[in-house]
Structure 1
Amino acid sequence: MKNKLKIILLICSCSFLQGSCQQKNTAQMNKFEWLPTETAPKNYPVYLYKAYFTAEDNSYIRIPDKRTVYYGWGEIGSIHISGDDYKAVPKKMNLIWLAYTENKYYKAEVELPYKKIDSLFQLELKDPKTKNIQHFDYISVGIAPGGMITLWMIGTAYQIEIGTYYGTKTEVDFKEMIPTTNLSEKEFINSTLKDEVSDTVLKEIKTGNIPFDRWKNYGKKYNWKIVLSHKEEFVPGQAKITMVNGEQDVQYFDNDIKPILESWALPSSTRIQWQDKNGNLFAAKLLFDEQETTKAFKTLLTENNKEVVLKAHIGTFNDTIKTTLSNNGNEIELTKTQIKVYSKTD
């Protein structure tokens, strides 16, 4: 039911935001068409009790709260289509939440990089599918174990981290937080963990094994790029890269358009496109194994070898792909990469 509700909300928001986000200047204050959303890593849910932004004009912009959040790191969560279409740039964020896996409450009052957010809203982005100009549509609030908070700005094909912050432990009256439940605090937490956490992760949590540094480490950036190769003549198109830290960028192989990020975190997945010698269009989705990719990067990146190339080797008939990571003649095949190839008829 929760997933169905999320899908419905997302459909509504997509319809609502079909047009590109335009800037609106009101009394010397920039306003933009955007929506707040929230998320948390899968298997590490939180109950977001109170959440809102405060804008430059002292208006309050509510972040969807009063709910359990678990959608996945960097994902779009719930959407509230309410209030003015054009909203001021947020300058402050206030949150109170329950971390189920830690059985702890956190609060945060964060000053946001207002000028950075304002400039990103004004940035023109090229939609890799339609080639139309798009803008950032969402500000997503991600909450990870240990009181960690990461904010992203999200557009059609791009996602940029605004910053990472930390809340502090606090106390909350459970019955005040969820007055409608007949369960005790302990029963409520255990019930949610059973529903939203896999058995494997739940066993680790019960032994006190929570990877607090995982999401912090995701933010480490590297100097790398994607290259396509083919057994035959072909025209490489583009690669949309999703990274472990939740960011997304697009690499165009014709070099006319540069990526918006100067460096990237480790790749989580990528969607590549190309055209074969007969003019047929193809695409492929590559899903990387996190442990394998992390080990390969650490092996190749030394003080003397600071740049690596992630190469997708496309087979003669466009139906197979091998992925490797290499630099200075050293190469590691990423054998655990999950690959699915699509033709223009798919």
Structure 2
Amino acid sequence: MLSFIFNSCQDKNKKTMKEEFKWKESVSCPLGYPVDVFMGGLELTDGGYTSLFSGLHTGKGGWGSEGRSMSHGKKPLPKRLNVIWISFVEKTFYHVDAELDYEKIVGLFKRGYYTLSMDKERPEPFREDYGTINVGFAPGGVAVVWAAGIGRQLEIGRYQGVKTEIPKEQVEKLKDEPEYSMLRPEYQESVIKNPGIIPQEVQDANKGKPIPIGKWDSYRKRYNWSMNLDIPDKGLSNRITCFSYNGEMEILFGDYQIERFKIPEELKWNTPRKRSIPKMITFSWITKENILKSGAITFNEAQIFKAFEELTQGMAEGIPLQITIRITHTGDDASVWLEGNGKSIGLYKSEVKIF
């Protein structure tokens, strides 16, 4: 099996594509569910290979966050994910061998995306490039691939791994290799009990509870929703960043930018679009006195998921919804609501910060 991974990386689809882009690989996992890649990685269009073996991943940045990289540089893009990894909490090895949506990946890398300038001398939006292929592993054998750049991350696809065992004869050959530690039950146990890997409060919260298989698939459900920033005294929205539970992230342009520059419709902050449910939204606005203010809304997971389900229950798919952030007239606090279908639900458990 161990040789199978490497051989398949070389033998499958020898067609060479010369297009190259500057990018790096990365591995992600949810906090509380550390993983390590045992063997394998991303197969490239020229028959080459980028390994995902880069050490233990703790998920401290959350699902979708980038981990370390070992091969940043110009090279062809990947066409296949072929990897064996260990889910420590499950004490299970998974193997996934799946074709990636290459056309989607190369389309994103060719087009790039527009983002906001932080340079006062050159305030015009500028083109940014995607530079990371991020691979996430979650319990139940879930593998998700994202394309990421500064301030942006989009899902490429979701793939299913299957439980696998490493043959004993191969285990014997690995006793002097770093991969061998993953096979030892005492090492696996030490990982899941280490508060430096899984914070003690997370261990305590998860103790006695079943692993929430399917949770990360539920994060992928999309709804047709847009944002509404209700600003007092004719202030103008400036920059809105949406961090979604499914690992996606996007920076959107507010009215202050839209009035000054030509902004693609899909990057305007109030354009309705199918998105997954947001985990956090950060925003800024320009007051009538031309003062820049900013804020952040961190949603309560149970409350916001329940609200989306309640407003769409029994309705046709694609019903438009709106997340409204109402800033107080004093500009130092805000409330947040989910609206749609003639109803409005206050998301009172959200954490609100205004800076």
Gaps of at least 5 residues in structure 2 are 1-15, 119-124
Gaps of at least 5 residues in structure 1 are 1-26
Q: Distance in 2 between matches of 1:73 and 1:179?
A: 29
Q: Which piece of structure 1 moves more, 249-258 or 327-336?
A: 249-258
The structural deviation recorded for 1:62 is 2.1
Which among 70, 76, 80 is matched to residue 66 of structure 2? 76
The structural deviation recorded for 1:316 is 1.7
Partner of 1:187: 186
Task: Give CA-to-partner distance per residue, 1:101-125, whole Å, 9 cap, x none.
Answer: 1111111112111111111101231
Partner of 1:197: 198
**What is the identity, as a one-letter code, of the residue corresponding to 2:64?**
G
**What is the identity, as a one-letter code, of the residue corresponding to 1:291?**
A
Partner of 1:44: 33
Q: Alignment RMSD, CA only?
A: 2.5
Q: Distance in 1 between matches of 2:24 and 2:115?
A: 19
The structural deviation recorded for 1:251 is 3.2
User: Is 1:108 the equivalent of 2:96?
Assistant: yes
The structural deviation recorded for 1:304 is 3.9
Q: Distance in 1 between matches of 2:217 and 2:309?
A: 17
**What is the identity, as a one-letter code, of the residue corresponding to 2:303?**
E
In the TM superposition, 1:99-178 aligns within 5 A as 99-130=87-118, 131-172=125-166, 176=174
**What is the identity, as a one-letter code, of the residue corresponding to 1:154?**
A
Q: Distance in 2 between matches of 1:177 and 1:301?
A: 55
Q: Is the 8 A contact 1:49 1:177 kept in 2?
A: no
User: Is 1:34 the equivalent of 2:23?
Assistant: yes
The structural deviation recorded for 1:248 is 1.2
The percentage of aligned residue pairs carrying the same residue is 26
User: Is 1:295 the equivalent of 2:328?
Assistant: no
Return the TM-score normalized by structure 1.
0.83
Q: Distance in 1 between matches of 2:56 and 2:190?
A: 14
Partner of 1:6: none
The structural deviation recorded for 1:207 is 4.2
Q: Which piece of structure 1 moves more, 312-321 or 182-191?
A: 182-191
Partner of 1:57: 46
Q: Distance in 2 between matches of 1:310 and 1:58?
A: 45
The structural deviation recorded for 1:240 is 1.1
Work out the number of aligned pairs and report it. Answer: 314
Q: Is the 8 A contact 1:38 1:64 kept in 2?
A: no
Return the TM-score normalized by structure 2.
0.81
Which among 260, 264, 280 is matched to residue 257 of structure 1? 264
Partner of 1:285: 296
Q: Is the 8 A contact 1:64 1:79 kept in 2?
A: no
**What is the identity, as a one-letter code, of the residue corresponding to 2:192?**
L
Partner of 1:4: none
Partner of 2:8: none
Task: Give CA-to-partner distance per residue, 1:258-301, whole Å, 9 cap, x none.
Answer: 33694100010011111111111111121111111011111112
